[in-house]
Amino acid sequence: MHILKSRGKKRTLQQEKVGTKKSVQKIKKTGSNPRTRRGKWISAGYLFPSAAGVLLFFVLPFMIVIYYSVVDNPISHQFVFLDNFVMVFQNAAFQQAAKNTLTFSAAAVPLAVVLSLLLAMMLESKIPFKSQFRTFFLSPMMVPIASVVLIWQVLFHYNGMMNEILAFFHADKVDWLNSSYAQVVIIILFLWKNLGYNMILFMSALSSIPKDIIEVAVLESASSFQIFWRIKLRYMSSTILFVTIMSLINSFKVFREIYLLKGEYPYDTMYMLQHFMNNTFSRLDYQKMSAAAIMMAIVMVVIIGILFLTENHFGKDVEG
Amino acid sequence: MSRRKGKKYSAEELSLQRWDKEVKRKKKLRDTRHMVRILIATMIAGCFAVLFLMPIVLTITNSFMSASEISANYGQVFATTDTGGKVYISDKVNLKFIPDMVSFSQYGTVLFKSPEYLLKFWNSVILVGPIVAFQLLVASGASYGFTRYRGRIKEIIFFLYIILMLMPYQVTLVPNYLVSDWLNVLDTNWAIWLPGIFSPFSVYLLTKYMRRIPTSVMEAAQIDGAGEWQIFRRICMPLCKGAMCSIAILIFIDYWNMVEQPLILLADQEKHPLSVFLSKINSGEIGLAFAVATIYMVPPILVFLYGEDYLVEGITYQGGIKG
């Protein structure tokens, strides 16, 4: 109104009302206030370095990767569509790696989520030394895996500590790192490293559940199982989603532990997708590499999409 | 009142009394149950804590063993190649918490006799330091851009950042390699630095934090005549100090622990950080390895002890990806 008046346009009341609405809409749409417009450009300028870097180092090369994945080779640029994907898919090493990675993630991620939730609930149930326990559980996250890998070797070597313990119970020796038990070792290592991080996320989620709702539930004589299942889990659904996604991503990073434990050629069940990528890198086979990377990206997007949808389904009525 | 003199209670009062007793009994039962539950929880947590701490503590204590004690204890495990005529190797593995004799000989060797370890340690510092500093710098600008004047385009870009952040290394390493090759920086530190500096992770986290600052604060500053730079420098940065600390810690842990990037982007083993080099220590020097591992642990542990609350806060802000 004031803006219009100051511009000195004479209108009837009716016109003015209509005019105000329209011009307000216009201002909102185009940001025609010169100061706002200038601020917009400046704030975009703050964004620029990062956006340029991301574009240059992640987005554009990813486009090139997509391009590489559908051509014959980087020199002749023959378009072959899905041939590279089929080739990678039929590669025995890739199949082995994909299978190992999948079984590992399928076992490790749910374990990581459930165990860390239990730890968080234990710490939230008013036990003494809570902050000390938190520090202890979080410490593996800080320690570089390279530093503790020696101890893990001592523990799980054929002549190592675990087998000593087994021998004490008159059980047979197990070659932990060179048998199908290798995955178990890696899962333990993964849990050791990641539980603390997940636990912190769950602890903050647990403490942010509104107390009054739980009090009402207690008054209505709900059992503690019901309270957990029907209230707490519902309220934590977005955190559970996040923890699942993070655990999934971290489970793809487990190559690090395996590499430090066993080097570049570990036992078959420890041969992960990253090993496959590394070996392809060393042969500079761009097509295979690109196709594998894109397949992983697609799988990742699909999994995350599914997780988001499930969370939307279960958590929609508590969003607030 | 008159009835009480005759010590006769009505049926109603009797049932009330009984009910009262019942409630008290139940409460007592619940209290004891509660105590027992807490006790059990504490014990389980204690067991977990011991399991969690054991590898770290063992690494540290074992670094104070002399070379002969190490080879006596772990000869069986690490004697994959020839053992070079060690005097005595037990046929069992002795996992010891406390060394028989505390000796600093391993540290002496690492610090004064074999400079390669210190060189690798320095490589780690050189690789991680600039990434932490410049990633924070770039991210603070970017998150300011994402916070002010949110529009559809910015939201789309932000969503792209989230997707990129969620991609596993295996996916982003290929693009990184291609760009490094193209920029001709393969085998130099720049190949690690550049993608690290522009990593979308800290942008995402800092933006989420900065968006919690009420817009009215910034608008008030604007009305008082502050320019964008002043709003950024005088309002957003001071308010985000804690978040910056926690993000710095998270980035530091992540890159201090890196293995994949140097393996692929740095073919020259001289440039590898200690995290990669530690796995290549041969079995003859296993005693040294413990000392080196402990030295490598020191910076993150110091950071952790100093900034645990920041770390926890940072992790907490990471949660709730939709926010």
User: Per the confidence metrics, is the pTM higher than 0.95?
Assistant: no
Q: pLDDT tens, A71-92?
A: 877 677 777 778 888 888 888 8
Q: pLDDT tens, B44-97?
A: 888 988 888 888 888 888 888 877 777 666 765 665 443 343 433 445 566 666
Mean pLDDT of B270-293: 78
A253 in B contact zone (CB under 8 Å): yes
Q: pLDDT tens, B285-314?
A: 777 888 888 888 899 989 888 888 888 888
> What's the pLDDT score for residue B322?
42
Residue with tokens 């450009």: A41
B212 vs B147: CA distance, rounded Å = 9
* Contacts A128 to B, Cβ<8 Å: 38, 42
> What's the pLDDT score for residue B94?
62
B122 vs B117: CA distance, rounded Å = 9
In this complex, the residue of B59, B203, B308 whose CB is nearest that of residue A50 is B203
- Chain Cα centroid distance, residue A43: 29
Domain ranges of chain A: 2-81, 84-318
A126 vs B316: CB contact, 8 Å cut-off? no
Choices 1.10.3720.10, 3.40.309.10, 1.10.10.10, 2.40.50.100: CATH for A84-318: 1.10.3720.10
Residues of chain A with pLDDT under 50: 1-19, 26-27, 31, 320
Q: pLDDT tens, A239-278?
A: 888 888 888 888 888 888 888 887 777 777 788 888 888 8
Contact B255, B196 (CB under 8 A): yes
**Quick one: what percent of chain A has pLDDT higher than 70?**
88
* Contacts B92 to A, Cβ<8 Å: 159, 164
**Quick one: what percent of chain A has pLDDT higher than 90?**
7
Distance from CA of A183 to the nearest CA of B (A): 19
> What's the pLDDT score for residue B138?
93
> What's the pLDDT score for residue B85?
38
> What's the pLDDT score for residue A93?
85
Please check the confidence at residue B205 and state whether its pLDDT lies above 80.
yes
> What's the pLDDT score for residue A253?
81
B313 vs B265: CA distance, rounded Å = 33
> Using CB atoms within 10 A of its CB, is residue B128 exposed (0-12), middle (13-18) or buried (19+)?
buried
Distance from CA of B270 to the nearest CA of A (A): 17
- CB crowding A42-79: b at 16 or more within 10 Å, else e: bbbebbebbbebbebbbeebbebbeebbbbeeeeeeee
The ipTM of this complex is: 0.80
Dihedral sign, Cα of residue B26, residue B27, residue B29, residue B33: positive
**Quick one: what percent of chain B has pLDDT higher than 70?**
86
**Quick one: what percent of chain B has pLDDT higher than 90?**
9
Query: Can you name the CATH fold of B114-318?
Result: MetI-like fold (1.10.3720)
Q: pLDDT tens, B121-174?
A: 898 999 999 999 999 999 999 999 998 888 888 889 988 898 888 888 878 888
- DSSP states of B271-286: G--HHHHGGG--GGGH
3-state class (DSSP) for residue B56: helix
B131 vs B248: CA distance, rounded Å = 10
Contact B263, A278 (CB under 8 A): yes
More confident residue, B76 or B243: B243
A305 in B contact zone (CB under 8 Å): no
